[in-house]
């Protein structure tokens, strides 16, 4: 390899034009490589920025609607409705028969076509169409269920993140208290046991932070399962547990539930299906005729071929769908009663969810306006008092535990508030905004 390199350099040295051409070609090559590297380097931050885009609640709901596997499977059922309508449109097939016997005529050929009235076929198509409406309502109910579950999972991640941030904050307070204890111990103001207590609190806080990080992964896994994303994917959330909820009125929520509740809409569609079934049963009471024609062959001494025709009709003397019609009417009465009961139950569910949401909103305001400022101020005073030597470390630790407990309860109340809002939306059966 060294000799080849020396030979190349020798040739280039003997021929300056060749050396110039070599340098120009290599300069162009290096320019192309440098340009490509600059483009790639510029693209990397842009791609990273796209991955770090905060995930809003609306975007999460859209992703669940587009990618959730349960929804994708349920939407495949829509293909059943055109198939059922096509089945309802089918007409009866004709019958072609050929016979041979030793009697005369020896051979016979017959063609028979069952007929049906147009309104009978139309009633079947109407029933298939209404059954397709049931399928659409079932898909819409599943869409809404996935939406509510996704909302809860989104704020479940927000709660896990907030818990981790709170524990990290408490870890910082514990570390700061440990430094104060060390300073006072080095100054001879306290015994070493206070330093050991502070270090134990730091170790406890570190363990709680690690556990909270694992809880975050669990929450992300639940959200990613709904969004059909890898289980290990993480998101930067644009929302938080403190997201403001829109103002609500109980009467408007109840009325909206009457219009949007999936169970009420399903019962209303069931009544339409039963009414269309009743129409089919009544249409079938009219007997459909069958028309036939054909020819007989080979009747010696009489004829070689003779035509024939026939008209047959089933006489509805004993069975005219009386039992089926009575059953359909009874089903309609059952559905009416069930609708009334479901309507009342829906109103009760909306009222309970609404009152719980209002109670949680009041509780959140109490935490924000009274409890949180009070315990935070007390913790600050306790730390300053300990630094000044006016109290022992147990007083500070108790104040820090109070801060942790109150802020933890505050986060739990915020999560319960978001969950209550989701429960109210689920009881209504549609968005409240």
Q: What is the per-residue pLDDT across 139-189, written as a single tens digit (0 to 9) for each?
A: 999 999 999 999 999 999 999 999 999 999 999 999 999 999 999 899 888
Average pLDDT over every residue of 417-428: 93
Percent of the chain whose pLDDT exceeds 90: 67
In this prediction, residue 15 has a pLDDT band, given cuts at 50, 70 and 90, of: very low
Categorize the per-residue pLDDT at 431 as very low, low, confident or very high, splitting at 50, 70 and 90.
confident
Q: Which residue has the higher pLDDT, 283 or 49?
A: 283
Give residue 271's pLDDT: 96
Which of the listed residues 36, 52, 68 is the one where a domain comes to its end?
52
**pLDDT tens-digit map of 207-242:** 999 999 999 999 999 999 999 999 889 989 998 999
Q: In this structure, what token pair is assigned to residue 250?
A: 């109980």
Q: For the chain, how many structural domains are there in total?
A: 2
pTM of the predicted model, to two decimals?
0.78
pLDDT of residue 201 exceeding 50, the answer is yes
Structure confidence at residue 107 (pLDDT): 86
Evaluate whether 274 touches 330 at the Cβ level (below 8 Å): no
Q: What is the pLDDT of residue 14?
A: 47
pLDDT confidence band for 277 (50 / 70 / 90):
very high
Angle of the 250-260 helix axis to the 262-283 helix axis, nearest 10 = 30
Cβ atoms of 94 and 135 within 8 Å: the answer is no
Residues 167 and 21 in one domain: no
The answer on 65 and 38 residing in a single domain is no
Instruction: Using the predicted structure, report yes or no on whether residue 378 has a pLDDT greater than 70.
Output: yes
CB half-sphere exposure, 265, CA atoms < 13 A: 18
Which residue in the block uniquely carries the two structure tokens 């409240």? 432
30 with 176, same domain?
no
Residue 92 sits in a domain whose CATH number is: 1.20.1600.10
Q: What is the pLDDT of residues 41-64, one digit of tens each?
A: 444 443 333 345 899 999 999 999
- pLDDT value of residue 209: 94
Task: Report whether the peptide linkage leading into residue 246 is cis, meaning its omega lies within 30 degrees of zero.
Answer: no
> Could you list the residue range(s) of the whole structural domain that residue 113 is in?
53-313+332-428
Picking from 50-54, 85-89, 199-203, 259-263, which range would have the lowest pLDDT averaged per residue?
Answer: 50-54
Which residue would you say has higher pLDDT here, 279 or 25? Answer: 279
What's the rounded Cα separation, in Å, for the pair 93 and 314? 18
Q: Does residue 37 sit in the same domain as residue 96?
A: no
Q: How confident is the model at residue 33 (pLDDT cuts 50, 70, 90)?
A: very low
Query: Are residues 132 and 257 both part of a single domain?
Result: yes
> How do residues 305-361 score in pLDDT, each as one tens digit?
888 898 998 888 888 899 999 999 999 999 999 999 999 999 999 999 999 999 999
Final residue belonging to a domain, choices 24, 52, 80: 52
> Does residue 14 sit in the same domain as residue 72?
no
Is the domain of 291 the same as that of 165? yes
Residues 34 and 150 in one domain: no
Same domain, 19 and 122: no
The DSSP call for residue 55 is: B
Residues 41, 143, single domain; the answer is no
Nearest to 426 by CA among 266, 269, 263: 263
pLDDT tens by residue, 182-192: 998 998 888 89
Span 88-121, pLDDT tens digits: 999 999 999 998 888 778 788 999 999 988 999 9
Give the pLDDT of residue 154: 96
Residues 6+ apart with CB under 8 A from 343: 258, 264
Q: What are phi and psi of 113, to 5 degrees?
A: -125, 115
Q: Which two tokens stand for residue 416?
A: 């319960």
Judge whether 433 lies within some domain: no
Quick one: 289 and 342 in the same domain? yes
- Please say whether the beta carbons of 107 and 308 come within 8 A: no
Phi, psi (deg, nearest 5) at residue 342: -65, -35
In angstroms, rounded to a whole number, what is the distance separating the alpha carbons of residues 27 and 25? 5
d(CA 390, CA 367): 29
In angstroms, the CA 42 to CA 34 distance is 12
Q: What is the mean pLDDT of residues 260-279?
A: 95
* Enclosing H/E stretch for 325: helix 322-366
DSSP letter assigned to residue 237: B
What average pLDDT does the segment 260-273 reach? 95
Are residues 9 and 152 part of one domain? no
């Amino acid at each position: 390899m060294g000799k080849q390199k020396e030979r190349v350099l020798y040739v280039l040295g003997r021929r300056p034009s060749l050396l110039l051409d070599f340098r120009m070609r290599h300069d162009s090559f290096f320019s192309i490589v440098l340009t490509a590297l600059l483009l790639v380097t510029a693209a990397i931050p842009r791609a990273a920025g796209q991955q770090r885009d905060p995930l809003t609640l609306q975007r999460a709901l859209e992703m669940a609607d587009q990618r959730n596997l349960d929804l994708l499977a349920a939407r495949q059922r829509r293909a059943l409705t055109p198939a059922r309508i096509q089945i309802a449109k089918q007409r009866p097939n004709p019958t072609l028969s050929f016979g041979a016997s030793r009697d005369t005529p020896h051979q016979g050929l017959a063609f028979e076509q069952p007929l049906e009235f147009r309104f009978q076929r139309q009633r079947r198509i109407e029933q298939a169409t209404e059954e397709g409406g049931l399928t659409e309502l079932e898909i819409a109910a599943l869409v809404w269920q996935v939406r509510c579950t996704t909302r809860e999972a989104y704020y479940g991640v927000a709660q896990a993140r907030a818990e981790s941030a709170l524990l990290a904050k408490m870890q910082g307070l514990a570390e700061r208290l440990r430094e104060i204890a060390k300073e006072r111990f080095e100054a001879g103001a306290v015994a070493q046991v206070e330093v050991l207590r502070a270090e134990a609190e730091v170790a406890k806080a570190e363990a709680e932070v690690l556990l909270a990080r694992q809880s975050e992964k669990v929450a992300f896994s639940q959200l990613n399962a709904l969004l059909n994303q890898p289980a290990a994917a993480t998101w930067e959330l644009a929302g938080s547990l403190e997201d403001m909820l829109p103002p609500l009125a109980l009467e408007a929520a109840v009325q909206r539930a009457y219009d949007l509740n999936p169970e009420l809409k399903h019962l209303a569609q069931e009544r339409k299906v039963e009414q269309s079934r009743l129409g089919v049963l009544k249409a079938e009471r009219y007997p459909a005729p069958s028309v036939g024609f054909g020819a007989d062959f080979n009747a010696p001494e009489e004829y070689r071929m003779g035509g024939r025709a026939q008209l047959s009709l089933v006489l509805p003397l004993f069975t005219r769908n009386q039992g089926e019609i009575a059953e359909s009417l009874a089903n309609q009465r059952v559905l009416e009663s069930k609708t009334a009961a479901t309507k009342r139950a829906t109103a009760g569910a909306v009222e309970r969810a609404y009152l719980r949401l209002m109670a949680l909103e009041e509780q959140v305001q109490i935490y924000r306006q009274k409890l949180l400022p009070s315990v935070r101020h007390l913790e600050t005073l306790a730390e300053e008092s300990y630094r000044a030597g006016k109290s022992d470390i147990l007083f500070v630790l108790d104040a820090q535990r109070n801060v942790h407990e109150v802020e933890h309860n505050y986060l739990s109340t915020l999560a319960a508030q978001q969950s209550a809002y989701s429960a109210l939306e689920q009881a209504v059966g549609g968005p409240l905004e």
